[in-house]
Structure 1
Amino acid sequence: MEELAVSSFKTTGSKWLLPVSDFVGFPLDQVNFLACQVFALCAAFCFRLYLGPRDTSPLLRHAVAILFGLSFITFCFGWYAVHITLLVMVCYWILVIADTRNIHRYTMTVAISYLTACQVSRVFIYSYGILSTDFSGPLMIITQKTTMLAFQVHDGMSKKSEDLTADQKRLSVTSKPSLIEYLSYNLNFLSVLVGPCSHYNDYIDFIEGRHVQRRLGKPPGTNAGRSGPDEVPEPSPMAAVTRKLVICVVCMVLFLTLTKAFPITYNVDSRFVSEAPFLTRLSYAFFSIQAARPKFYFAWTLADAINNAAGYGVKGADETGRVSWDLISNLNIWGIETATSFKKFIDNWNIQTGVWLKTVCYDRAPRYRTALTFVLSALWHGVYPGYYFTFITAIPITMAARGVRRNLRPHFLSSHLMKLGYDVLTWAATQLCVCYTVMPFLLLAVEPTIDYYRSMYFHVHIISILTAIALSRGRQHGDGASCSSSNGTRPPSLQEHPPPSNNNLKGN
């Protein structure tokens, strides 16, 4: 069966590393991806050391970032890279010619439609079980960047300042980017393969040398009248990069051991489902989902390290002067593994996608914000039915979790022991709910998803819906009102952390 899968694998990318693929036993597209990311890490160090903003013009930095980015997607995807560059060019054409009052609508429609069309064609051409070159990852990142920039140009050029929120005002773009700036933002080698998405203003500040100064401010004794990128000494990213690379190594080891030991598909194995007790199946689901996470931890942490190596990602400094390099981090592993609520888990998982959803949907939807945001997230992820099962299931769970936090949590804050007991119970409930919710995301197809939920007796669906109904009296009227309340019920995954001041570092 393995030989059949390998022989049926097709790739449009480079085949230079095929001997390496055969030797290590990994698909060629994964080997190509890892090779490009390792090369990107080395290139990022050189980019910071030899093409820094103090000694190099922004034009050259943009050009080098684009050149490497195009090389990477061509190496990994071959002629499929045309899809990525075509979407970027079409969205830039819209940016140039469209009225700024509607530019965000046109860009969102085109980007999501093109992404969906590519994903649909891939699903029909290559069935669920057949490996093939997957270019949808970079296309998803491009969709985030093009649409978020279009919304920020719309805010900056067609809306009054008083009509914008504080975040929208800070992130608004008041002039249309040039072609090279647009291409660099979307296709730079730091994030073209796996992200993360970042704000346009932050990226341009990084290229032009204002990034560190904006985030750290002027050190004491700096001449206030002085200008230029050398006002603030650039902190070294070596400690942050080293720490993140160590995490990558650990995650790779876990992936090579635990992930293969706990295959997801065993959750719907007919013999296992029919013979194993419910608690055994529940336990296996928990461990198999835990084992599936390291590959995501690896990819996102490595991408973060690459950006840091180039000097991008300074978030702020605490009172001791310790610099945080987590501005565009896509996950907080500790926050994920210790989450005591569904919203805390989401808040620490795929963080930059949460920022994008907040920017283009959650903050702008007149009603049904949470539901519309989950729908957009499912549509962005792809057309596999499992994605929609996951995000639709997440809606009642999120509503139930808000109700529990609002109505029950205050009764457990009277003592440290009761609070500890509440945290332990909610941690276990959160992790089991996450396993139940994301299982279809990994199973992909309808039939195995229904088989799994049937084997679990749809218990989380039933419990979450009944809980949400029972606690609905405690909810404030309107989705928007409850999401902005002061009790912390707004999904943090859809909140953007404000930039830290010099003496107030707000980490993930």
Structure 2
Amino acid sequence: MDWLQLVSLHPVSLYQLVAFPFAVLFNYLCLTDSFSTRARYLFLLAGGGALASAAMGSYSLLVLTPAFCAGVLVSSLGAQEVHRLTFFFQMSWQTLCHLGLHYAEYYLQEPPPVRFYISLSSLMLLTQRVTSLSLDISEGKVEKTPGGTRSRSSLAEHLCKALPYFSYLLFFPALLGGPLCSFQRFRARIQRSNSLYPSISFWALTWRGLQIIGLECLKVALRRLVSPGAGLDDCQQLECVYVMWHTAGLFKLTYYSHWILDDSLLHAAGFGSESGQRPGEEGYVPDADIWMLETTHRISLFTRQWNRSTARWLKRLVFQNSRCWPVLQTFAFSAWWHGLHPGQVFGFLCWAVMVEADYLIHTFATVFFRSWPLQLLYRALAWAHTQLIIAYIMLAVEVRSLSSLWLLCCSYNSAFPMLYCVLLFLLAKRKPKCN
């Protein structure tokens, strides 16, 4: 009976699968001689609008409205001010939407419809594309199409020049999920000639499909290891550690399968990793490197590899522009971007402290553990501790109620991050002074 859960798809996955044939159709039309560049932009834009309406219903206005406004701002503002104003507008809109979610969850005590959650998730991805595009323009990586004077340039001409921006912000393969695709890569793929447009690798898609099936089977098997209804509210002592590891494992498997499906959709449309990247074209960064995530003994490395395109986006947007406490500022902004739920604020700030501790601990470990048996033992213990800390952070971020967060903090699981906090405090005093 549990194997029936394999066919009970998440709503986002269901709509991604519905969009899959249209991505294949887009790829096929790009390989023909009758699909012009403007037709490609319009196809992706129309597909994004249709997918938003189907998946979100009336809540699609929460995504379509800021996308239209951001497209107007990007096409009308100068390179010096475009990033500041678009960032302020986009984050303000997203924050208001998250506040509406808080009001429904904490005050009305009524969870909003699933379509509202889908729109918020899509809005967060839209924020990535908007800020990435504005940064590219302000840094001179993307040159805006020069427009004519107001007396000579009609509204239709303005819309035609802004069409690539609107299409990029709403193109359907990346509307509901997927790694961040830069505007440079997007435009380079659209403007390719028909003979050079990348074709679909059916072997790559088949391999991704087998990975998704394997991950879903692992989820079913992992559910059988714990009795139904087991949680932190009814576990005892060390049993809570096992419950935490089990629950976090289910979350990670869900993320992995979603990321692979999103990557498959982008690949089917011609924007994927194996789609014939040319010299000088910006590289494609998939979100999931499962082997690296599950084998690393470094929290800092796990952080850089977890949802890699988002990690690189945060590094570019926040980390590289922070003059003091860049790690803390990056995780604080990540909590803001995710919605500022109490568990998210606590989890991301805890994550920042764990990353800082990880740098110091492993720096001193390379000095004290010289022989290979000690290094092997250290790596094994560090791997187990890293997985438990990540599980702790993941549960803190995913919980929605203060009571669940309190149960997590009062359980035996808090001993794992507390150990890293103590080591951070002790080793910080011995850290040599350096720039």
Tell whether the structures are fold-level matches, with TM greater than 0.5: yes
1:175–1:414 distance in 2 versus 1, CA, 3 Å: farther
Which amino acid is 2:407 matched to? D
Q: Distance in 2 between matches of 1:477 and 1:42?
A: 58
Which residue is 2:111 aligned to? 130
Which residue is 2:155 aligned to? none
- 1:405 maps to 2:366: no
Which residue is 1:367 aligned to? 324
Which amino acid is 1:198 matched to? C
Contact 1:386 / 1:441 at 8 angstroms: preserved in 2? yes
- Aligned mate of 1:242, from 195, 200, 206: 206
Which amino acid is 1:191 matched to? A
- 1:439 maps to 2:398: no
Q: Distance in 1 between matches of 2:251 and 2:169?
A: 29
Bigger fraction of residues in helix:
2
Q: Deviations over 1:192-241 (max 9, x none)?
A: 011322111011111112xxxxxxxxxxxxxxxxxx564x6846522221
Which amino acid is 2:142 matched to? V
Which amino acid is 2:358 matched to? A
Q: Distance in 2 between matches of 1:316 and 1:41?
A: 16
Which amino acid is 2:190 matched to? I
Which amino acid is 1:173 matched to? V
Which residue is 2:70 aligned to? 91
Which amino acid is 1:456 matched to? Y
How far the C-alpha of 1:358 sits from its partner, in A, is 1.3
Q: Distance in 2 between matches of 1:399 and 1:328?
A: 25
Which residue is 1:192 aligned to? 175
Contact 2:347 / 2:397 at 8 angstroms: preserved in 1? yes
- Aligned mate of 1:34, from 13, 31, 43: 13
- Aligned mate of 1:146, from 124, 130, 144: 130
- Aligned mate of 2:272, from 313, 316, 319: 313
1:106–1:250 distance in 2 versus 1, CA, 3 Å: same
Contact 1:329 / 1:351 at 8 angstroms: preserved in 2? yes
Q: CA RMSD in A?
A: 2.8
Gaps of at least 5 residues in structure 2 are: 147-160, 278-282
Which amino acid is 1:433 matched to? I
Which amino acid is 2:364 matched to? N
Contact 1:115 / 1:139 at 8 angstroms: preserved in 2? yes
1:253–1:457 distance in 2 versus 1, CA, 3 Å: closer
Contact 2:259 / 2:287 at 8 angstroms: preserved in 1? yes
Contact 2:125 / 2:177 at 8 angstroms: preserved in 1? yes
1:241–1:37 distance in 2 versus 1, CA, 3 Å: same
Q: Distance in 1 between matches of 2:226 and 2:171?
A: 36
- 1:356 maps to 2:313: yes
- Aligned mate of 2:45, from 36, 51, 66: 66
Which residue is 2:164 aligned to? 181
Q: Which moved more, 1:232-241 or 1:294-303?
A: 232-241
Q: Distance in 2 between matches of 1:330 and 1:90?
A: 28
Contact 1:244 / 1:301 at 8 angstroms: preserved in 2? yes
Which residue is 2:407 aligned to? 451
Which residue is 1:287 aligned to? 246
- 1:207 maps to 2:185: no
Which amino acid is 2:124 matched to? M
Q: Distance in 2 between matches of 1:426 and 1:196?
A: 29
Contact 2:200 / 2:275 at 8 angstroms: preserved in 1? no
Contact 1:397 / 1:465 at 8 angstroms: preserved in 2? yes
Which amino acid is 2:135 matched to? F
**Percent identity of equivalent pairs:** 20
Q: Secondary structure at the match of 2:304?
A: helix
Contact 1:267 / 1:284 at 8 angstroms: preserved in 2? yes
1:25–1:310 distance in 2 versus 1, CA, 3 Å: closer
Number of aligned residue pairs: 407
Which residue is 2:29 aligned to? 50
Q: Map 1:388-403 onto structure 2 (within 5 A).
A: 388-403=345-360
How far the C-alpha of 1:121 sits from its partner, in A, is 0.3
1:425–1:349 distance in 2 versus 1, CA, 3 Å: same
Contact 2:104 / 2:110 at 8 angstroms: preserved in 1? no
How far the C-alpha of 1:56 sits from its partner, in A, is 2.5
Q: Distance in 2 between matches of 1:89 and 1:229?
A: 29
Which amino acid is 2:87 matched to? M
Which amino acid is 1:174 matched to? E
Q: Secondary structure at the match of 1:363?
A: helix
Which residue is 1:213 aligned to? none
Q: Secondary structure at the match of 2:172?
A: coil
Contact 2:104 / 2:112 at 8 angstroms: preserved in 1? no
Q: Distance in 2 between matches of 1:77 and 1:362?
A: 33
Q: Distance in 1 between matches of 2:224 and 2:99?
A: 29
Which amino acid is 2:375 matched to? K
Q: Distance in 1 between matches of 2:229 and 2:313?
A: 31
Which amino acid is 2:214 matched to? V
Q: Distance in 2 between matches of 1:115 and 1:259?
A: 35
Which amino acid is 1:142 matched to? L
How far the C-alpha of 1:354 sits from its partner, in A, is 0.6
- 1:300 maps to 2:300: no
Contact 1:362 / 1:373 at 8 angstroms: preserved in 2? yes
1:105–1:475 distance in 2 versus 1, CA, 3 Å: farther
Q: Secondary structure at the match of 1:450?
A: helix
Q: Distance in 1 between matches of 2:172 and 2:253?
A: 23
TM-score by length of 2: 0.85
Q: Secondary structure at the match of 2:395?
A: helix
- 1:332 maps to 2:289: yes
1:387–1:53 distance in 2 versus 1, CA, 3 Å: farther
Which amino acid is 1:308 matched to? H
Gaps of at least 5 residues in structure 1 are: 1-22, 157-171, 210-227, 319-325, 482-508
